[in-house]
Structure 1
Amino acid sequence: MRKIILSAIGVLLIVFSFLFAKKLIADKHKPKPVKEKVVKTVFTDTVKNATVKIVIPANGSLVAKRRVELYAEVQGVFKSSRVLFKPGQKYSKGQTLISIDADEHYASVQSAKSELYNTISAIMPDLRLDFPEVYQKWQNYLNGFDLNKSTPKLPEMTSDTENYFITGRDIVSSYYNVKNLEQRLSKYKIAAPFSGILTEALVTEGSLIRSGQKLGEFIDASVYEMEVALSKGYASLLKVDEPVVLHSLDGTETYKGRVSRVNGSIDATTQTITAYIEVENDALKEGMYLEAHIDAREEQDAIEINRSLLLEGDDIFVVRDSVLDVIPVKPVHFSETTVVLKNIPEGTVILKKAVPGAYTGMLVKPFDNQSTKTNTK
C-alpha cells in the first residue's frame, strides 16, 4: 500500500513539472507590451507683435506740496480771536492765523513816528528861506503824513545841498528807524500765505509766546506730492508732465496725477533716482499711501508674457508640429510678474502657461477650448 501511494505522488510530481515547464516556454515567446507615448496638453498662444506700454510701478505717501512751519519772531501773549487756533481749522488766504499782543511795541512805533514828524516840521522855516525850490514838496510830505498809517517814503532829494541839509538833521536815520519798527510791528500778526488747513497747533490762546518758538504747521490741502524712488535704469525714461495713474491700497479708488519734478542726481548709496508725482483731489489727505503706475515709454513690435515663461539664456518654448522647441528672444523690460520681449516672429505659437518638466522635443497637444465647450453641451 505504501509503494502504491509513493508511486502516485511521483506520477503527480512528473505531471506538474511537465505543465510548469510548458507554461514557462509559452511565456518566453509572449511579445513584450509596448509603452504608449504620453502627449501632454498645454495652453498656447499665437504671437501678435504690437506696441507695448512700459509701466513703472512705484509707491509712497502723500505730502502737501505747499507747507509752512509757523515760528514766532517776536515775544508776547497770544491774543484770542474768533477762529480757534486748533488742528483741522481752515483759513483763507490773508486771514490772521495768530495775533500777538503788540500794544507796547505799537506805542514805541507811534512815538518814533511823532518824533520824525516833529523833526521835519522844525526845519520847514529854514527850508522856506534857504531852499525855497524844495519847500513845497516837503510841505506836501507833511500834509500826507498820517500817524495811523504806514510812514510814507521821504521825498526824493534833487541836490547835494538839500541832501546834506536833510541828512544833517538826522531825518533820514529817523525815517529808517521808524520803518524798522513798523516792519517789526507787522510780525505780531501771522497771516495765512494761502488758503489751507492747520495740521499742528503747539500754542493756545493766552499763552506767552517767545521769539523763535514753533507755533504749528499750515498746509495747502488742495495739492499733494508723492515722492518715489526708482531704479537708476529708469532715469532716461522719466519725463516731466508724464501722466500717472495712482491707486489706493485696496484698489477701490483711482486718481490722476503727473510727474512734476525729477531729481537731477542719483543717490550714491541706493542707486535710485527720486521723482515727484503731483496729484489734486478733494478726497486725498496728507499721509495717505498710494501706488503709482508711471507710463515710461512705448516699445514697438513687442509682446508681454509672464516671467515664468522666460528660460535661462533668454529663450522661450515654442510649439512646432506638436513638439516643444526653444527660440532666442530679446528681453527689454522686466516687471514683478511680466517681461516685455522682442525679436519673436509674427504668428509663432508659444506656451501661455509654464509646463512643469518641459524639455525640447517633448510631445504636446494644444488645449482646444472650443472642443471642450462642445463636449460639455
Structure 2
Amino acid sequence: MDKRKIILSLLGVVLIVGAIFGAKAIIDSKEQPKPNIQKTVKTVFVDTVQNSSIAIKIPANGNLVAKDRVELYAEVQGVFRYSSQDFKAGQAYKRGQTLLKIDAAEYEASVQSAKSELYNQITAIMPDLRLDYPEIFPKWQEYLNNLDVNSSIPPLPESANDKERYFISGRGINSAYFNIKNLEQRLVKYRITAPFNGVLTEALVTEGTLIRNGQKLGEFIDPEVYELQVSIGKQYADLLQVGEKVSLTDNSGNKTYEGRVSRINARIDQATQTVNVFIEVAAEGLKEGMYMQANLDARNEENAIEIDRSLVNDRNEIFTVQDSVLKTIEVTPVYFSDRKVVIKGVPDGEVIVTRQVSGAYNGMPVKIAEENNTADTAASSNSNSESKVQ
C-alpha cells in the first residue's frame, strides 16, 4: 500500500514537470510578430533667400504739441479791461491783435508826469545854452518843440563834444531820460498782443478780473504746425538724421500724415537711456494733444533679409533645409523690432524655414510643404503638419 502511494506520487511529479517543459517548448517555438514602428517626418514651410535693401523702421509714439506756443503771464498788476476778441478758449486772433489789455490809467499818468519833469528840466537849461553854447542851442530847441508828453519820448540829441556831454549830464537830463524809457517799457507790459496768427487754447481770466503780477492768464498756439516728441533707444540714435521723412498715423490708424525729423537731442536720458527726437508735421485736422504713431526710416541695410524674430535662436542661428534635413547657420542680426528682425549673413539661394518647427534640431529629417498646398495648410492650421511613413 505504501509502495503504491509512492509510485503514484512520483508519476504525478513527473507529469507536472513534463507539462511545464512542454508548455515552455510550445511558447518558445511561437514566432513573435515584429512591431510596426511608425516614423514621423514634419512638414515645414520654407522660402528661398534673395538678399536686398531693407528699410529699417523704428516705431515710436507720442502726443502732438504746437511748435509755436506761448504761455501768457502777467508782469504787472491791474484790472482786465479789453481784448480784441472774446478772451475764451478756441478764439482765434490775428498777429498784432490785442489779446489782453490791463487798466494802466494810473501808471500812464506817472509816465506823463516824468515826461513833464524832463520837459521842465530841458526848458530850464535853454537860457544857459543860448548864452554859453549858442552852436548847440538850435538842436535842443528843436527837440524841445517836438517833445510830446502823450507820445513816446524821442532819443536825446547826440552830444557834439565832451563839453556838451558834461553839461547835459550835470543837469540830470540823461538820468531823467532813461528813467522815462524804463517807465515806457513797463507801460508796454499792460497790453499783450498776439505774436502770430493763432488760437487761444486756455483762458484763465475774464474781463473785469483783477490780475496780479506773475499770474498765468492762458495759452496761445499756432494751429498750423505741430511737433511730435518721441523717445528712441540710444542704439538707434546714430541711424537718424535731421530732415528725414517720417510716416505718422493717428490712434485709429485710419489717417496717415507725413512729417520730418526737425531736431534730435544731443543728450541721452540717464534714467531711460533714450534720446528725444522731434518730428514736425503740418496738416489739416491735427489738434494739440493728439496721440500719434511714428515709423522712422532709420536707414537702408544692404544685402539683408527680414524674417520673424522667433526664427532666430539665442545663439543667433536660423534653420535651413538641405537635402530634406534641417541645418543651422549663424547669422548677424542688425535690427530687432517687435515682431521682425533684419539679419545678414545668409547666402542668396539658401532655403530657410519660415515658420517655427516644434522640437527642431540639427539633422532633423523634414518634408517641404508643396507650394500649391501651402495656402490651404496655413489657413487650416498655424502649426507644422506631420506625415507618417510606414
Provide closer, same or farther for how the CA distance between residues 150 and 350 of structure 1 changes in structure 2, counting only shifts above 3 A: same
Counterpart residue identity of residue 270, structure 1:
T
Question: Counterparts of 1:124 and 1:365 in 2: how far apart (Å)?
Answer: 112
Instruction: Kindly indicate whether the alpha-carbon contact (under 8 Å) linking 2:84 and 2:97 is maintained by their aligned counterparts in 1.
Output: no
Counterpart residue identity of residue 331, structure 1:
P
Identical aligned pairs, as a percentage?
60
Match of 1:363 in 2: 365
Task: Provide, for residues 115-172 of structure 1, a one-character-per-residue CA deviation record: whole Å limited to 9, x for no partner.
Answer: 2223223322321221111112212222332333211000001112211221222211
Counterpart residue identity of residue 250, structure 1:
S
Question: Counterparts of 2:208 and 2:330 in 1: how far apart (Å)?
Answer: 77
Match of 1:290 in 2: 292
Larger displacement relative to structure 2 (24-33 or 309-318): 24-33
Task: Provide, for residues 3-36 of structure 1, a one-character-per-residue CA deviation record: whole Å limited to 9, x for no partner.
Answer: xxxxxxxxxxxxxx9xxx9xx8899446525434
Match of 2:66 in 1: 64
Which of 231, 247, 250 pairs up with 1:248?
250
Question: Counterparts of 2:370 and 2:39 in 1: how far apart (Å)?
Answer: 20
3-state SS in 1 of match to 2:208:
coil
Question: Counterparts of 1:262 and 1:28 in 2: how far apart (Å)?
Answer: 86
Match of 2:199 in 1: 197
Give ranges in structure 2 of 5+ residues lacking alignment.
Answer: 1-18, 377-390
Which runs of structure 2 are paired with 1:1-377 in the superposition (5 Å)?
Answer: 28-29=30-31, 31-32=33-34, 34-370=36-372
Instruction: Kindly indicate whether the alpha-carbon contact (under 8 Å) linking 2:84 and 2:98 is maintained by their aligned counterparts in 1.
Output: no
**Shift in Å, 1:329:** 1.1
Counterpart residue identity of residue 41, structure 1:
T
**What is the TM-score with the length of structure 2 in the denominator?**
0.85
Question: Counterparts of 2:262 and 2:38 in 1: how far apart (Å)?
Answer: 65
Task: Provide, for residues 213-243 of structure 1, a one-character-per-residue CA deviation record: whole Å limited to 9, x for no partner.
Answer: 1111112222222222221211222222222
Task: Provide, for residues 66-93 of structure 1, a one-character-per-residue CA deviation record: whole Å limited to 9, x for no partner.
Answer: 2222111111111134511111111111
Match of 2:15 in 1: none
**Shift in Å, 1:346:** 0.5
Instruction: Kindly indicate whether the alpha-carbon contact (under 8 Å) linking 2:61 and 2:294 is maintained by their aligned counterparts in 1.
Output: yes
Give ranges in structure 1 of 5+ residues lacking alignment.
Answer: 1-16
Counterpart residue identity of residue 149, structure 2:
L
3-state SS in 2 of match to 1:132:
coil
Counterpart residue identity of residue 160, structure 2:
T
Q: CA RMSD, aligned part only?
A: 2.2
How many residue pairs are counted as aligned between the two chains? 353
3-state SS in 2 of match to 1:301:
strand
3-state SS in 2 of match to 1:114:
helix
Provide closer, same or farther for how the CA distance between residues 143 and 370 of structure 1 changes in structure 2, counting only shifts above 3 A: same
Counterpart residue identity of residue 257, structure 1:
G
3-state SS in 1 of match to 2:300:
strand
Match of 2:5 in 1: none
Question: Counterparts of 2:375 and 2:302 in 1: how far apart (Å)?
Answer: 36
Larger displacement relative to structure 2 (197-206 or 365-374): 365-374
**Shift in Å, 1:198:** 1.2
Counterpart residue identity of residue 204, structure 2:
L
Provide closer, same or farther for how the CA distance between residues 93 and 309 of structure 1 changes in structure 2, counting only shifts above 3 A: same
Match of 1:5 in 2: none
Task: Provide, for residues 352-377 of structure 1, a one-character-per-residue CA deviation record: whole Å limited to 9, x for no partner.
Answer: 11122222233322222336799xxx
